[in-house]
Amino acid sequence: MFSKTCEYAIRALIYTAQMSKEGHKIGIKEIAKGIDSPEYFIAKILQDLGKKGFVQSMKGPTGGFYMEKENLDHTIADIVREVDGDKLFSGCGLGLKECSEDHPCPIHNEFRHIRKAVSDMLERSTINMFVENLDLKLTFLKQ
């Protein structure tokens, strides 16, 4: 459903939020290990998300990535839009460019309900909500 980049971005932001809530800064190696991702890939993703204000970073021996309290209110939909664009929220289920209400593809009518349900779920889901579920051990990021 998401690109690999988007999957890593979501997992990295949730992990960083969870680990930095006590004011700690987390290095790329720890984030990569914590979410089971390649270091070089996650470093690039987090640098990009840092420029866009989703996460903060500090250089130096005590530096690393961290999240401010206001970042915890970002929804998963915000992250998906930033990384993958709007295709998930408005695109055709078959990837057709001309698909619309007036000119539907074979799965259009069924798929719009699925797309709406996914969109609603992602809009309701905040980073903070996932951090709380992780803290309560209701969910996991890595086995």
Structural domains of the chain sorted by starting position, each given as residue range(s) with its CATH number in brackets? 4-84+126-135 (1.10.10.10)
Question: Which residue spans within the chain are E strands per DSSP?
Answer: 56-58, 64-66
Residue 143's pLDDT band, with cuts at 50, 70 and 90, is: low
Predicted TM-score of the model (pTM): 0.91
pLDDT in tens, 18-27: 999 888 899 9
What is the helix (H) or strand (E) element at residue 58, kind and residue range?
A: strand 56-58
- Residue 93's Cβ-count burial label (10 Å; 0-12, 13-18, 19+) is middle
